[in-house]
Structure formats: C-alpha cells, structure tokens
A and B are shown apart, each in its own frame.
Chain A
Amino acid sequence: MSAAQSNSFDVVIVGAGVSGAMIAKQLGLAGKKVLILESGAGLPPNINDFVERFYTALAKVPEIPYTPDLFTPPGTFNLQDPTLMNAPRPSVLTLGSNWKDPKQSYLIQEGPLAFGSTYERVAGGTMRHWLGTSLRFVPNDFRMQSQYQQLVDWPFGYSQLEPWYGEAEKEIGVSANAADQAYLGITFPNGYKYPMNPIVPSLVDDAVSKGVNGTNFKGTPLTVTGTPAGRNSQPYQNRRVCAGNTNCIPICPIQAKYDPSVTLEQALNTGNVQIWPKTVASEVVVDGSGRVSEIKYLQYQEPGGAQTGSGSVTAKVFVIAAHAIETPKLLLMSTNGGRTPKGVANFSGQMGKNLMDHPLYLAWALMPKPVFGYRGPLATSGIESTRDGGFRKERAAFRIEIGNEGWNFPINDPYTTTVDFINGINQSGLNPIGGGQPQALFGPGLVNSLNDRLTRQFRLGFLVEQSPDSKNCVTLAAERDHLNLQRPKIQYDISPYSRAGLGAAVEAADQIFTQLKAQQFTTDPAPDDPSALEVPVNGKPKRIKFFGSGHIVGTYCMGTTKGNSVVNSEQRSWDHPNLFLVGSGVFPTVATGNPTLTIAALSLWAAQTIKKDLA
C-alpha cells in the first residue's frame, strides 16, 4: 500500500468471503469506512481465466478454477508445495496416500480420520464454489439438547433468526416457493415470497419422487422437495438466468449462481469500502483495556514470491471473517508477545475446538430407464423430510441431495466409463454390468452402450449431522508457509452418534434404490483410504467411505457464557467487546442444512449490531 493511504478505519474485516462481503456492504451503505484484508488475490475483472482453467484442468475438483493454480507448472499434476506459498489452501487432491505429506497437504492432518473439506483464500471466498443450496435450518436444529438431549442448543431459536433468513435470501437471490419450504416447523411471515420462483425440477428428481413420495424410512416420511437455490430462475441483480451448465461446483460459467463477488462489487461501489488483496493478517493486537487496537499484516505480490511489505491497521471495530480454519489459526497465533499466551478471544479455551462438517455418504445406481443426468444445475431437489424426528435421540439426522450429474462425483464420469468402453477395461463396473470380460467397442456399439449407461446414472448424497466434539480441533502446527506463518493442524474423528447417522444413511440408500428398482454400484473404500470408517448397518459394522461436504463449521462457537463459548449470541467475542468473529465457525452445531444461507443471515445480523455500536 502507498504511504499516502490511511491505515485507520471504522471497521477492519479480515476475509473477503460471503461474511466479509455482506458486512462490508451494509457498513459501506451506512457511510462507515471499511477495509477488507484479503489473504489471496483480489477481484478479477471477469471470470474468464477461472473458466478457462477449469476447462483445461486434468482434475476438475472444487478448488481448481481459482487463484493461484493448484499445480506447478499449470497443466501438470504436480501439486504446489504449501511450504513455498504465501497463502496456501487445502485441496481434495491431498486426501489419498499423501494426506499427511506436509509438502502436498496444506493442512497438517493428525487424524485419526482425514478432514475432507477445503476452502479458498481469494476474494469471494469458498462460496465461489458453493452449490447454491440455500436451505433454512429447521427449528429443532437450534434446540437439540432441550428437544432430544443430544448435542447442544444454540443461544437463540429459529424465530429470532427468521427475519435475517429473509434478508439473506434477498441479498443472495434465492429461487424457491415458501409453501414448499414450510416443513418440519419452518415458518415464514404471512405472504412471504422468495425473490424468484423455484428452479424447475429435473427428470432425475421426477423419477426419485415417483419412487419414494408417500413411503417412509423406518417411520420417517420420504418426500422429495425442490431445493431453494442461490441461482437465478429469472434475471436478478443484473445477472443471467441459469442455463443448466451442470457445473455449479466448481464454477458457474455465466454467474447465474450467486457468489460473493456480487456483493463485494456493491460494497466497493458505496465508495466507503476498500479491499487490500494479497494482504495476510498475521496478528490481532489487544491493548491494556482488553480492546483490539490493531491488526498486523504481511503482504506479497506473487503467490510464491518474497514478502513485499508489512504494517498494521487500526479501527474502532474488527471483524474476523476468515472461515472456520483460518480464523482460529489467526487468533491462536495472536499471542501479543506473551500477553495473550492462549491467543486472542480464548478465555474459554474453546478457540479452534468443535470442528465439524457434514460427513457425506455417497451412493450411486443405474435407473431401469433413462433419467438423463448431466443436465441442469448439479442438484435441484432433495429429500428433506429426514432432517428431523424422534430418531435424533439415538442417531444423527441427514438430508439427501439428489444429484443431476450422473456419476461425475462418484467415479469421475463420463471419463471413466468412456475409457472403459474404448479401452476394454472395467473401472466403472459398467463394462459389463455384473462382471465378466470387458468389451472394447467402436462405432454404433460404442455410442449405444455409452448412451445406455450414462443416461441411467444417478447418485444420492447423504449429508449427516456431525456432533460437536472438543477433540476435533484446529491448533497450530510446527510447519509454516512461505510467509513463515504457522499452518493449521487438524485433529478429526466422527462420533458414535454421527456414525449411527451414517449407518442409517447406508440403510436408507439401499431401501430407496430398491424402491426405484435401481441397480446399486456404490463401491467399498480402498484399504488405506483415510476417509473410511466403520458404521453400524443393520446391526453389523460396515466399512464405508465418507466425503467432506465443504461445510467447515464450529471452532469459535457461540454460546451462553464466557466460560463455555468463544462468542456470544451477537457473534461478539466475550473477551474483547470490539471484536466480532463471523461465519460458520460460530455455529454451535452443524445442523441439517447446507450452511451458507445461515452464514449470510448471521452476517447481516452482525452488521446491524456493528452499525449500532458505531452509531
């Protein structure tokens, strides 16, 4: 930054993701001077480079389009060494035999299980590659302890958050129908309308609906519901209507799906908000009165280049919005020369603890007739009726996401099956079905076989609620990045309660496929897969694979007392009154819906509180 630039603001925000963007916009509109420190690259003029990188990438994983390139040189399969990067980030490509290699995996994974979710360090944040799912949590998600004597309660209930859900739906631009979403106690104000009409369902959704609606799984109804989507069913916010590119993750090529760059642009347009990209917050400084006085930062120009600057910024209010792994990392690093040896905002000792995700069980099958996947948004409907019920006294709940992308997620199709039929091998299980000598095809035989298999593929994803557990945590590793900052160390396991939920997911998948007369192809995990675990299925242990859902939650949970939590119900640090910690890290539980809408709602709520503080 130039010497002429001010280093004093009303509010300094760390992180230009969804939370930082939404808070910055609200404060900018209120005339407050806001600075966002972003550890990664700033807003590009357009997404053309991101899309081009996706098209030409060998591994089309969620993080692949974004800056900096995962590979060196680009186009190869050689992962960047995080030791040599200034703002490294995790990748799902380090969840194999390399999961504990610090020269491949940015996260220092201690296990016993691999933590499977990743995040971005770039303007727009991890929501750059969100699916668009904009579910509200159900009321019982907020009161698990009082309702089911499991997990913990939130410090407020659904009714207090409800108005902010409405605000978040407006900001994101959600397509849905309130009547469809009024299930399991979810309520709306009289006459409430989502900003846009619901996204139309897919032929896959129709087939699943016909097979399951009106039936139940162990007494819990199975009902397919259209998914509220942060994508346009009509023009909104000067953005186009969804054209069904089937690529919401990792990138919508036409930005019909909302991402936080939309709100960041609006924040910048207030004239009161600045973003400093490639500026990594390195310490939160606390003064003698217990208030945060400044944030120190380090700067660079090239992703793997030398440090180019350092400094500090002051403000009246500070907001850490760096997601649920970088936020606790920064605060744990902030020891203030020994004055805060446990880090900042950590009187409770809870900083970094209760790391959660939705462990995802993936099951895939062939329908008896074509359902024409690989078309439409990646998911347009789900089975939400399984998100709540008396069973939550015994095992974790889940929602069931219906995929529209064939077997792309399960086996990287159509690549795998195409190679199978052309090269006469059988990695898909489809050449032939049931085993035997694989065929090598060409001409019409190839076309017809591929058409038959690909058009009948579909998959279900079961997103299971994970228990908060203080042993699942983010701490500081000895390993460092190129700016000599410590990297996050992760300990991660899944509780018996959530394993029981995963087991129920396996049973539900088997039942649903039977009802649909679909032939299941879900495979067992490899013996050395770090993302495999034993779960109870029909009373017997079964080893299954789970995936991260990208829903990184917990680590600076909100609660009711200074002793049991990091922030209060306002998302304000119990310890430092001018410090707010926002994002999914404040969630006391991961609940049963994808977290983004709740992140946005809570961020807008926090923005109002900050505005009052500054009035």
Chain B
Amino acid sequence: MSDTSMDLFVGLSAVLTGVDKTMLAPGLDPINIKKTYFDYAQNKAGATFQQLLNIYQQNQSLPAAQIGDIILNKSGDDVRYLARSVMLMWYLGSWYDPADLKKYNGTNPPTDPVPAFAVISSAAYTNGWSWNVAQAHPMGYSNFQYGYWSKLPPSLQDFIGGGS
C-alpha cells in the first residue's frame, strides 16, 4: 500500500460517506482506522477494490456528486456493492458482504434483517459514523460528560467536518 493508495481511499471514502477527509483521517491519527478498513477491503475484494480506487483516481477532479454517481450508478454491480460495503465499514464498523447487499437489493430480497458479516474490530465499532451523524456517540463509548444529554448537541458540522 502506497501513500497514494491511502490518499485515494480516504478521498473516495469522503465522497461516499459525506464525512470530511479530515475527520475520517485526522492529521494525528493514533487509531488509524483508515488502514484497518483499507486492508480489510483489499483482503476481501482485492481486484474490485483496486478498480474502485482507479475509478476514483480517474475522476477525482470532478464534483463529489458526479464521482459518486459514476461509482454507484455507472460502473457495474461489483463496484457499486463494494462501494456500499466500504460505506458501511465507515458507518457501522462492520463488513457487509457485497454479495449479500446485492441479494437484499434484488427483486426477491430475503425477509430476514440484513446480516453483518463481521464486526471488524472493537476500534471499528467505537469509530462508527452512524452515531456521529446522529450527533451522538457509539452506544457504550461516550467521550461526553455527565448531563450532556440534557443539552442540545454540537452541530452536525462539528461532528462530520466541513464537507467533502
């Protein structure tokens, strides 16, 4: 993995998640969850993952909305569902297999709740973005202080950064 590949992954992730790059990959980043996710996706879907990064690299000068549209709507099912798996890693700290996501998105979806294939790690769970997008914190992992729940939370922008 080169720095360039990681830069591409972070840029791609910001486009897909809507969370600012500086929040996904802060300058001082001891947890380095981006590397955990990069390696996980590389391991699970090497060739398609490379294809996803390439598509981002070729289109990164375009507006984010256009890049997302190309990845999710104009690059085929393999890329689309892997991109969704990457988004779910960031949001929920879990790996949802692209094949499962495709199955649930089809014309005869299973009726059971979508299964998580794996919780990637405890650090992945405690860095899940769904809770931050709710202006909250992962359940069981609060860095707030007593009584914060009786006051309005910081703004959404404070949680997700300045936009991507």
Residues of A within 8 A of B (CB): 51-52, 54-58, 60, 75, 77, 200-203, 206, 233, 241-247, 251, 253, 372-377, 380, 404-406, 408, 412, 414-416, 418-419, 422-425, 427, 440, 442-447, 450-451, 454-455
Give chain A nearest CB distance to B32 CB in angstroms: 17
CB-defined contacts of A253 to chain B, threshold 8 Å: 140-141
CB-defined contacts of A405 to chain B, threshold 8 Å: 139
Are the C-beta atoms of A372 and B92 separated by less than 8 Å? Answer: no
Using CB atoms, name the residue of chain B closest to A252.
B140
A405 CA to B131 CA, complexed, in Å: 11
Quick check: is B5 within 8 A (CB to CB) of the other chain? no
Are the C-beta atoms of B142 and A415 separated by less than 8 Å? Answer: no
Are the C-beta atoms of B135 and A455 separated by less than 8 Å? Answer: yes
Give chain A nearest CB distance to B93 CB in angstroms: 9
Per a CB cutoff under 8 Å, which of B101, B134, B144 touches A454? B134
Known: A58-B119, A415-B92. 4 other contacts (CB 8 A): A241-B146, A244-B142, A374-B139, A404-B149
Per a CB cutoff under 8 Å, which of A57, A246, A451 touches B133? A451
Give chain B nearest CB distance to A196 CB in angstroms: 11
Are the C-beta atoms of A202 and B130 separated by less than 8 Å? Answer: no
Residues of B within 8 A of A (CB): 15-19, 64-65, 68, 72, 83-84, 87-88, 91-92, 94, 96, 101, 104-105, 109, 113-116, 118-119, 121-122, 125-126, 130-131, 133-137, 139-153, 156, 160, 163-164
A57 CA to B125 CA, complexed, in Å: 10
CB-defined contacts of A455 to chain B, threshold 8 Å: 134-135
A303 CA to B109 CA, complexed, in Å: 39
Using CB atoms, name the residue of chain A closest to B150.
A200
CB-defined contacts of A415 to chain B, threshold 8 Å: 92, 116, 130
CB-defined contacts of B88 to chain A, threshold 8 Å: 418-419, 422
Per a CB cutoff under 8 Å, which of B16, B114, B131, B141 touches A443? B16
Given contact pairs A200-B149, A447-B160, A423 touches B114 in the complex (Cβ within 8 A)? yes
A422 CA to B72 CA, complexed, in Å: 10
Per a CB cutoff under 8 Å, which of A58, A376, A380 touches B118? A58
CB-defined contacts of B149 to chain A, threshold 8 Å: 200, 202-203, 244, 372, 375-377, 380, 404
For B15, B125, B130, which residue has the most chain A Cβ atoms within 10 angstroms?
Answer: B130
Using CB atoms, name the residue of chain A closest to B123.
A55
Q: Interface of chain A, helix or strand or loop or mixed?
A: loop
Using CB atoms, name the residue of chain B closest to A254.
B142
For B19, B72, B142, B156, which residue has the most chain A Cβ atoms within 10 angstroms?
Answer: B142
Given contact pairs A58-B118, A203-B150, A451-B156, A425 touches B18 in the complex (Cβ within 8 A)? no
Per a CB cutoff under 8 Å, which of A55, A200, A233 touches B140? A55
Are the C-beta atoms of A245 and B140 separated by less than 8 Å? Answer: yes
CB-defined contacts of B151 to chain A, threshold 8 Å: 203
CB-defined contacts of A203 to chain B, threshold 8 Å: 149-152
A440 CA to B71 CA, complexed, in Å: 12
Using CB atoms, name the residue of chain B closest to A204.
B149
Are the C-beta atoms of A419 and B122 separated by less than 8 Å? Answer: no
CB-defined contacts of B164 to chain A, threshold 8 Å: 443
Per a CB cutoff under 8 Å, which of B94, B115, B139, B160 touches A246? B139
